[in-house]
Structure 1
Amino acid sequence: MRSSVIGSGSFGTALANSLAVTCDEVRLWGRDEALAASINTRHENPTYLPGIPLSPRVRATLDLKEALEGAELVILATPSQATRDIISRAVDFLPRHVPLLTVAKGIENETLLTMTELLEDCLPEEFHPYIAVLSGPSFARELALRSPTVVTIASHWEKVAARCQKMLQTETFRSYTSNDVVGVQYGGALKNVIAIAAGIADGLGMGHNARAAIITRGLAEITRLAVRKGGNPLTLSGLSGMGDLVLTCTGELSRNRRVGMELGKGRPLADILGDMKQVAEGVKTAKSAQDLAVKLGVELPICQQVYAISHEGKSAKAAVVELMTRQPKPELGGA
């Protein structure tokens, strides 16, 4: 059995290594020739997962046709804002009647589409029933180290979600299926924005009370927007909602929290991102959240302050004061 992972960053590589437990061959596509050579000869991704041995069943390639040929599962692990370009290049080589599982956690800036909506926008209709999404609390490094990890896989077609679930199941990687494609994706995307907010509070030295408040009220914002888009509110109390949110807002491996911490310390965003090897999805998702709030008339006060700090240069301290001094409201139903 052969599978394909498009995107050789940390999470794509970690998933490829996990798939190698159940698949005879996993082809991992990327753009970096030196990185591909290291994966194939040293069985290591020194750029994104240094020091972690990879299965020899994982074979890297720079050729999309080679990567996708004969695959029984295709995982799309490119950053959300790059997904349209990559899938447009890959469409002629995609195998038919095979699950297409996206793991990117973002909302396209220009269109405000989720990743499954973007795939439906790019791909012929015959591919649409096979689209699925994976989300949940899953740091790539821990997944690659075979630490127990549990996620959600959602698809409109239950058989597709179950097929992905079966192929990914190992002793250390477990998934639950869902048909709430909307809720799972909004949970995964917006938690990155809330994690930046939590990091800002940590960078300002505001303590655990503030972090707990951001997580709780952040979940309320995520749920409010997901429900407006047709998601099930119960989904946001699960792995792809609360589970992923808590991990990303508290974990030392969280890139988005790290960005927030540096913003809270007063560093310019450009300098912060310049020091990072990997994408912090929450930075660009903050813009999508801001635009969705305006378009749909949904109150997202924390997300909107993150946008103002990261994209408009607003003072983090001023943003906190503004959040705290808003008009008092009831907890249930109030923003």
Structure 2
Amino acid sequence: MGHRAGQGAGRRRWRGHPVGPTSRRRRADQQHPIQPRLSARHVAAARYPRHPEAEEALSGAATVLLGVPAQMLRANLERWAGLLPEDATLVSLAKGIELGTLMRMSQVITSVTGVDPAHVAVISGPNLASEIAECQPAATVVACSDSGRAVALQRALNSGYFRPYTNSDVIGTEIGGACKNVIALACGMAVGVGLGENTAAAIITRGLAEIMRLGIALGAKGATLAGLAGVGDLVATCTSPHSRNRSFGERLGRARPCNRRCSTATATSSRGHVV
């Protein structure tokens, strides 16, 4: 989604909704993969609008939100790279590690586009889509090495129910968001085989210890992983029935068949891959 500077002023809209580029075109009768999980009382408000062509959406944009699945980010960026405004802030919403390269999403963005890493931001935290669509109180992390860009994003996203916090630790924010998926799968499998809360608590706390060791070894700050982008995201993903990875793990633990539709619904964020 592209938007111009100044509290979202000049943002392209369709029927009152901000619009931007998407990785693929959908017919009007095709449902977005997230929409079936939204309750009837808020699905209308959360319905995705039609999107214009990338060239139109990106023209003059000050901020570009990149919300395609982690394993599809590179391919889409290669299509859009020549359309991105020179000084735009590129914001990654995907939580994952690229297969083959083991790059974080911010690294994929800079690798493909050649932009200054200070122009790349990451948004991550305990942000279950269905609850945000219901306007339930939530918080998130906006990470960017350029504090000015981080604060600008914070102001643009802040609302009465959604509170962004800023930091400069892009590595920690991304590692927390990607690695918690593995722990959530384990928690789901434990529930699926009939294990209780003691087991879940052990998996979460020992999983956090592993995430922190890995993150710090890669240059992350421990405080980041002890905050919303680490512990917060981990707890929400491991305990909520709305969590795709936890639900997928529970299904595996119960030895239930998981067809292509199930895999797509439970691993949408990484196109069938946990990290």
TM-score range, shorter chain: 0.7 to 0.9
**SS at structure 1 position matched to 2:156:** helix
- Specify the alignment match of 1:201 in structure 2: 190
Residue 37 (structure 1) shift: 8.9
Greater displacement, 96-105 / 196-205: 96-105
Looking at structure 2, the residues matched to 88 and 199 of structure 1 have their Cα atoms a distance apart, in angstroms, of 36
Structure 2 CA distance for partners of 1:37 and 1:249, relative to 1, 3 Å: closer
**SS at structure 1 position matched to 2:20:** strand
Count of residue correspondences:
264
Residue 176 (structure 1) shift: 0.6
Residue deviations 1:22-65, cap 9 Å, x none? Answer: 957321333233249989xxxxx855646423389x75225211
1:191 aligns with 2:184: no
1:74 aligns with 2:60: no
- Specify the alignment match of 1:130 in structure 2: 119
Match of residue 99, structure 1, among 82, 86, 89: 89
Looking at structure 1, the residues matched to 133 and 9 of structure 2 have their Cα atoms a distance apart, in angstroms, of 12
Q: Which is greater in Rg?
A: 1
Looking at structure 1, the residues matched to 27 and 80 of structure 2 have their Cα atoms a distance apart, in angstroms, of 22
Contact 2:123 2:141 in 1 (8 A): yes
Q: How many percent of aligned residue pairs carry the same amino acid?
A: 36
**SS at structure 2 position matched to 1:150:** strand
Greater displacement, 202-211 / 93-102: 93-102
The TM-score normalised by the length of structure 1 is: 0.71
Contact 2:71 2:271 in 1 (8 A): no
Residue 252 (structure 1) shift: 1.0
Contact 2:185 2:245 in 1 (8 A): yes
**SS at structure 1 position matched to 2:68:** coil
1:264 aligns with 2:253: yes
Looking at structure 1, the residues matched to 27 and 160 of structure 2 have their Cα atoms a distance apart, in angstroms, of 32
1:64 aligns with 2:49: no
Contact 2:70 2:271 in 1 (8 A): no
Looking at structure 2, the residues matched to 55 and 244 of structure 1 have their Cα atoms a distance apart, in angstroms, of 22
Match of residue 53, structure 1, among 20, 40, 44: 44
Contact 2:247 2:266 in 1 (8 A): no
- Specify the alignment match of 2:146 in structure 1: 157
Alignment-mate amino acid for residue 68 of structure 1: L
Residue 180 (structure 1) shift: 0.7
**SS at structure 2 position matched to 1:54:** helix
CA-based RMSD of the aligned residues comes to: 2.9
Looking at structure 1, the residues matched to 11 and 163 of structure 2 have their Cα atoms a distance apart, in angstroms, of 16
- Specify the alignment match of 1:3 in structure 2: 3
User: Structure 1 stretches (4+) deviating beyond 4 angstroms?
Assistant: 19-24, 35-39, 45-50, 268-272
Greater displacement, 145-154 / 26-35: 26-35
1:28 aligns with 2:20: yes
Alignment-mate amino acid for residue 180 of structure 2: K
Looking at structure 2, the residues matched to 178 and 35 of structure 1 have their Cα atoms a distance apart, in angstroms, of 39
Looking at structure 1, the residues matched to 28 and 238 of structure 2 have their Cα atoms a distance apart, in angstroms, of 30
**SS at structure 2 position matched to 1:28:** coil
Q: Which runs of 5+ in 1 are unaligned?
A: 5-18, 40-44, 287-335
Looking at structure 1, the residues matched to 149 and 232 of structure 2 have their Cα atoms a distance apart, in angstroms, of 23
Contact 1:198 1:249 in 2 (8 A): yes
Residue 270 (structure 1) shift: 5.2
- Specify the alignment match of 2:160 in structure 1: 171
1:147 aligns with 2:140: no
Residue 244 (structure 1) shift: 0.4
Contact 2:181 2:245 in 1 (8 A): yes
Looking at structure 1, the residues matched to 268 and 84 of structure 2 have their Cα atoms a distance apart, in angstroms, of 25
Structure 2 CA distance for partners of 1:36 and 1:186, relative to 1, 3 Å: farther
- Specify the alignment match of 1:308 in structure 2: none
Bigger RCO (CA 8 Å, 6+ sep):
2
Looking at structure 2, the residues matched to 193 and 84 of structure 1 have their Cα atoms a distance apart, in angstroms, of 22
The TM-score normalised by the length of structure 2 is: 0.86
Contact 1:262 1:272 in 2 (8 A): no
**SS at structure 1 position matched to 2:256:** coil
Residue deviations 1:79-119, cap 9 Å, x none? Answer: 10100001111111112212111010000011000000111
Structure 2 CA distance for partners of 1:213 and 1:21, relative to 1, 3 Å: farther
1:231 aligns with 2:246: no
Structure showing the higher helix proportion among its residues: 1
Residue 141 (structure 1) shift: 1.3
Alignment-mate amino acid for residue 199 of structure 2: A
Alignment-mate amino acid for residue 29 of structure 1: P
Looking at structure 2, the residues matched to 132 and 212 of structure 1 have their Cα atoms a distance apart, in angstroms, of 32
Residue 144 (structure 1) shift: 1.5
